[in-house]
Amino acid sequence: MDGSPQSASADPRPDTTPPCSPNILPPELLCEIFAHLDRFADCVASTMVCRTWRMASLAAPAQLWNYVVSEGRKPDVLAQVLARAANVPICVTVTVLNTNASHLASAFQLHMHHIAHLSIHIGEDLQPDAARWLVVALSSPAPILETLIVMDIFGAIPAALYGAPPETSIMSAPELSSFKLFGEAFYYALPTLWPSLTQFLYAPPSEVLTTAVIDEHIALMDSLEILGIELGAWTDPQWTSNAIRMPASLQTLHLVCRSETLDLHELLQRIFPCSVRLLTIDYVLGCDVTVATELVAFMCDRFSPRDIAIFSSTSSNDIVLEVESDNGLVWEIYCISLIFERAMFSNVRTLSISDPEWARLHGRVPAPLLVSLSVRIITPYFMVEDGHKSLFLDMTASGLLVCPQLHTLVFETVPRGSLYSLGHMPTLAPEMLTEFMHNKVVFERERLAVLRLNGIDLLQAVVESVITLLGHVDDIQFGPGSNLNERDMKRMPLGWDL
């Protein structure tokens, strides 16, 4: 046996592993492969794949061909890909060019009945003949269409409709719930053709909103619940001050302002009163401090604030203001910088304010009805005393909040372990809290009812300071920190994507 290899003992168990090769992929991956392949290739001939692959592709059209993009494809390929989807509800994104407009029209006429989501991007140099083909495509009935996005910045559709036969109209889509239009408004009977429309996002191509579009067209959308408008200016062709009609069903109004100096208070004055319960105004490029101050003053005068939240990051130009009024209207303004008027807090019951904005209060600010005050420490810095590190509350600002009815005072930071965490549980010295209650707030009670620390520990190294603090409050409570950035998720739920 010397020099000969040692023989291994035979395994008595049968080998149940199926014969496989590195060049053979498992069947469960086929749908994923085809789903990604469809976005980068035109058509895959059946001779290029094995019989198993071909049978899987034909048996599962909902997984393989439910998302179709025309960009980068040959003009006649879109119809072939749509045909592969059989009658499965599909999502289609097309870019309309002079070279493919007629092919798109033919494809839509054949397959519009099973398109559930449609996004149309119209090229800059679209010729009138090509635009008419697009009008023909949009006149096809769409029985299951739920979302329609039209990016018509250069006004190809209205121009084509103007020269089209009188019987030409926009598609009949009884299930359409979301319509997003970047372009001129359609001057056709949308309410009768789209009875289920609940969301409408509108951006005029010149960024100039004409009030007639709202009054004569949007107001007729009887089921509309959410309306978003992007604008840089607004105009009234009739130069009147009459009220602007809104749908009676409207609950949410989003205004996206693309001008730092756009003053909206006159437009809002003509829109309200209406059924809107949530109003958001987003100055995406920032807002002039004078414009922001006048707008907030108008809103506070028109809709008496009950609960206010004011916060920002480290910059004073990205203040977010959230207000709930006495009548139930919630209004939010984003990316502004403003001067706080004293009358702003005259009717407020609860106030939540971040430390950069607290420093912007000047003089004696009356808040006669304020019951709860929360100070959000979002830009913390620390002091070291007797070897202990604790949060530092800036006492240099001259602001003094006069709130005789104050019941609860809260200090809070972000929660530990969150994305914006400080990395440890911060502490706050009791003498800092005592000094704050002496120098920054005025209340009638001899002792504050509740002091609450959210996401903050109380430094207890100096017993005398803790005893002094306990002499000024009835109860000290502790809780988790608040997610100060969760509000960013609420901004403008209507985007330009499918």
Beta carbons of 429 and 464 less than 8 angstroms apart: no
Beta carbons of 399 and 440 less than 8 angstroms apart: yes
Per-position pLDDT tens, the chain of length 498: 444 444 444 555 554 544 444 445 555 555 555 555 554 455 555 445 566 666 666 666 555 567 788 876 777 778 887 887 777 888 999 999 888 888 888 888 888 999 999 999 988 888 888 888 888 777 888 999 999 999 988 888 877 776 565 555 667 889 999 999 998 866 554 666 788 999 999 999 888 998 888 888 888 888 999 999 999 999 887 666 688 999 999 999 999 999 999 999 999 999 998 899 999 999 999 999 999 999 999 999 999 999 999 987 655 568 899 999 999 999 999 989 888 888 899 999 999 998 888 888 888 999 999 999 999 887 677 766 665 667 888 777 788 999 999 999 999 886 544 434 455 678 888 998 999 999 899 988 889 999 999 988 898 888 999 999 999 999 999 988 766 554 444 555 667 876
Place of tokens 């997984």: 63
Q: What is the 3 state secondary structure string of 223-242?
A: CCCEEEEEECEEECCCCCCC
Closest CA to 227 of 236, 218, 238: 218
Amino acid at 74: K
Gap between the Cα atoms of 498 and 488, Å rounded: 20
- Using CA atoms, how far residue 276 sits from 211, 246, 250, 325, 330, in Å, is 17, 9, 6, 12, 9
Angle between helices 30-40 and 51-59 (to 10 degrees): 80
